[in-house]
A and B are shown apart, each in its own frame.
Chain A
Amino acid sequence: MDQWTEKLDTYLDGELSASEMRAVQEHVRGCPACAADILSRVQMKRAVQAAATKRFRPSAEFRQRVRAQIEPRSGFMPVRVWAIAAALLIIVSLVLLSGRERKMARQQVFNEIADLHVSALASGNPVDVVSTDRHTVKPWFQGKLPFTFNLPELQNSQFILVGGRVTYAEQSPGAELIYQVRKHQISVFIFQERAFEPLAGEEARRQSSFNVESWSQNGLRYFVIGDASPQDIHNLTELMRQAALS
């Protein structure tokens, strides 16, 4: 092995400086050993290229799946706009018809959530996993719930994580997380959105005996409820939303 051999691969990759490229070229012309060496290196390069390029091809179905996932949400074509407008019209009339019933159903949901919150606080052990560390609390739910969620980083915020428990509403399991802000306990409930059909993707903010915010994100239905101020409830809501984005 000499100084030339060492440079041959880099030469073939075209990555030597212009003057070195010329020097190697010059040398190879007069050196049969290097010329043979180069030949076999070129063959190797070509062989790897031939053997590895397009060796594996994605299925059409998979390509479609990824494309659908990254497609801009609403590249409406004119024809589709009409179809959607028509569909909306139908939905609107349905909603108007069933508005009253829905309103009652929604109220029921919020009552149920308020009951859950109160009963958790009233119980002897409001939480089943006691920890201020989200990295302890979140894994605890693993295997207990049919979904997963993210919890926010609470440093630099006034909230403290107390712990969590599994809870049920609308015959569906969910997570209840209890946070503390000053003297107030706030419950955050997370369920699968489909268990809460009456809310149908809506966001809601209510102030009655408790302050509540509710929204839907990534197929999950969140409730933040407590007797803390609406601003506190809202701040925790924002933290949860941010965490769910990451």
Chain B
Amino acid sequence: MEVVKNREAAAAFEELAMPLFDQLYNFAHWLAQDRAEAEDLVQETYAKALRGFSSFQPGTNFRAWMYRILRNTFLTSRTGLQAATVGLDLEEAAELPARTESPEAVLIDQSQRETLQAALQEIPAHYREVLLLCEVEEMSYKEIAETLSIPIGTVMSRLSRARGALRESLKKKMMKV
């Protein structure tokens, strides 16, 4: 009986989790910035998620749950630990209102995609992840808050800072060219 139940759960898990595979991999690679490490991250995420699947509440957000596992796995990895120590304490010291800067004339076209990709690689990992969740995964602030285990207010201020950091990084790159 137990076996049948497990098998059903594993099948349900596979059906929910495999469609997220490409996205999760993309996200993992952006975080880890390395193919082998991204693969390890994704593989471990799937293994952990399958093991913990019984604790997943049906009806709640599966996607946010998977991303949260992936991200926590990343944070405990070697690269993740290094990335996490950069800048976070500065940023979250106070819940300041988001300081938004006008984007000025940073106009982007297709040819500058590579510059933008490089700029994205350069900003701190916690900025990169919040931007990716918002722009690429198109998660709502609530989902992002769930994924990163932070309040919605922090999502807003972090996003705003992330955008600012990206603009700064881009500006520097464009000046060099």
A residues apposed to B, CB below 8 Å: 1, 5-6, 8-10, 13, 15, 37, 40-41, 43-58, 62-63, 65-67, 69-75
Contacts and interface: CB of A to CB of B under 8 A. Distances in A.
Nearest to A1: B100
Interface size class of B (residues with CB under 8 A): 35 or more
Interface in B144-161: 156, 159-160
Contacts of A13: 134, 141, 159
B29 A40 contact: no
A41 B167 CA distance: 10
A35 to B, nearest CB: 12
A15 B141 contact: yes
A18 to B, nearest CB: 15
A41 B103 contact: yes
A237 to B, nearest CB: 19
A33 B56 CA distance: 47
Contacts of B98: 6, 9
6 contacts: A47-B112, A47-B113, A48-B120, A48-B131, A66-B21, A70-B47
A64 to B, nearest CB: 11
Interface string B68-94: 000000000000000000000000000
A44 B22 contact: no
Nearest to B43: A66
Contact of B136 (A41, A52, A67): A52
Contacts of A70: 10, 13-14, 17, 46-47, 50
A56 B14 contact: no
Interface of B: 6-8, 10-11, 13-14, 17-18, 21-22, 25-26, 29-30, 35, 38-39, 42-43, 46-47, 50, 97-108, 110, 112-113, 116-117, 120, 131-132, 134-136, 140-141, 156, 159-160, 163, 166-167
Contacts of B22: 54, 57-58
A66 B7 CA distance: 17
A53 B26 contact: yes
A246 B116 CA distance: 42
Q: Main secondary structure on chain A at its contact with chain B?
A: helix
Contacts of B21: 58, 63, 66
Nearest to B167: A44
B7 A43 contact: no
Contacts of A47: 108, 112-113, 116
B26 A55 contact: yes
A10 B97 CA distance: 13
Given A8-B100, A52-B131, A52-B135, 8 more contacts: A15-B156, A40-B102, A48-B166, A52-B30, A65-B43, A70-B47, A71-B10, A71-B14
Contacts of B167: 44
Contacts of A1: 99-102
B77 to A, nearest CB: 17
Contacts of A66: 21, 42-43, 46
Contact of A50 (B7, B46, B113, B134): B113
Contact of B117 (A5, A49, A52, A71): A52
A33 to B, nearest CB: 8
Contacts of A45: 135
Nearest to B29: A56
B118 to A, nearest CB: 9
Q: Which of A9, A13, A37, A52 has the most CB of B within 10 A?
A: A52
Nearest to A8: B100
Q: Which of A40, A66, A73, A74 has the most CB of B within 10 A?
A: A66
A56 B121 CA distance: 13
Nearest to A50: B113
Contacts of B99: 1
Q: Which of B7, B13, B22, B102 has the most CB of A within 10 A?
A: B102
A74 B10 CA distance: 10
